[in-house]
Amino acid sequence: MQDMSKNKRRASWGLIILAWLLCNFFTLHFSWSIFDDLPVAPIQQAELHITSSSLPLEINPQQWEAVLLPDDWLANDRNTTQAWYKLRFNYTPAENAAPPGNEPWAIYISHVTHNVGIYLNGLWIGQSGDLGPPISRHHNEPQLFEFSPKLLQHGENEFLLRIQAAYKKYGLLDAVHIAPVSTLKPAYDFKYFVRVTLVQWLTIVMTLMGLTVLIFFAVRPQDKIYGFFSAELFLWSAHNLNLFVHNIPVSTRLWEAMTMATLGWTVVLMVFFNHRFIGVPNKFVERSMLLFATLGIGLYFLPDVEKVFYIGYKIWDVILVIFGSYAIGYLLVRHWRNASTDTLLMILAGIPILAFGLHDILLVNGFRPRTEGLIIQYSALPALIVFSWFIIKRFIQSINRAEDLSKNLEQKVKAKEKELQEQYLHLQQLEQEKILSEERERIMRDMHDGIGSQLVSVVGALGSSTDERLVDVREKIKTSLADLRMVIDSLDPAHNNLATLLATLRQHFEESLRYAGISLVWDIEFLPETLTSAQQNIHILRIVQEAMTNAIKHAECSQVRLQTRCITRVAPLLEICVEDNGKGFEHRHNDASQASRGLQNMRYRAKQIGAELNVKSGSTGTAVCLLLGDEASANFPL
Residue 509 φ then ψ, to 5°: -95, -10
Q: Which residue has the higher pLDDT, 236 or 433?
A: 236
| Extended strands (E) in 590-635 | 611-618, 621-629
Amino acid occupying residue 205: V
Residue 287 φ then ψ, to 5°: -65, -40
Cα(457)–Cα(520) distance, rounded to whole angstroms?
32
Nearest to 384 by CA among 217, 258, 234, 244: 234
CA distances from 501 to 202, 482, 498, 610 (A): 88, 13, 5, 20
Half-sphere exposure of 158 (CA within 13 A, CB side): 9
Range in 79-88, 103-112, 582-591 with the lowest mean pLDDT? 582-591
Section 7-21 average pLDDT? 87
Average pLDDT, the chain: 82
Q: Which residue has the higher pLDDT, 593 or 207?
A: 207
For the chain, which residues make up each domain, given as ranges? 6-33+195-403, 45-190, 515-638
Q: Which residue has the higher pLDDT, 178 or 532?
A: 178
* pLDDT at residue 86 greater than cutoff 90: yes
Q: Which residues are registered as beta bridge partners of 623? A: 579, 616
515-638: CATH architecture? 2-Layer Sandwich (3.30)
Q: Which residues contact 407 (CB under 8 A, 6 or more apart)?
A: none
pLDDT band at 638 (very low <50, low <70, confident <90, very high): very low
Q: Which residues are registered as beta bridge partners of 106? A: 146, 179
Sheet bearing 172-173, strands edge to edge: 71-72, 172-173, 112-113
Class of 45-190 in CATH: mainly beta
pLDDT band at 372 (very low <50, low <70, confident <90, very high): confident
What does the pLDDT read at residue 580?
92
pLDDT band at 589 (very low <50, low <70, confident <90, very high): very low
Q: Which residues are registered as beta bridge partners of 565? A: 575
Cα(200)–Cα(242) distance, rounded to whole angstroms?
11
What does the pLDDT read at residue 292?
86
For the domain bounded by 6-33+195-403, which CATH number is listed? 1.20.1070
pTM value is 0.64
Angle (CA) 345-274-332 rounded to 5° is 55
Three-class SS of residue 517? Answer: coil
Cα(611)–Cα(192) distance, rounded to whole angstroms?
94
Max mean pLDDT among 299-313, 443-457, 496-510 falls in 299-313
Q: Which residue has the higher pLDDT, 508 or 139?
A: 139
pLDDT digits (tens, 9 = 90+) for 183-195: 999 999 999 998 9
Section 252-265 average pLDDT? 89
Cα(261)–Cα(239) distance, rounded to whole angstroms?
8
What does the pLDDT read at residue 92?
81
What does the pLDDT read at residue 454?
63
- Assess whether the previous peptide bond of 426 is cis (omega < 30° from 0): no
- Asked if residue 147 lies in contact with residue 127, where contact means CB atoms within 8 angstroms, the answer is no
What does the pLDDT read at residue 199?
92
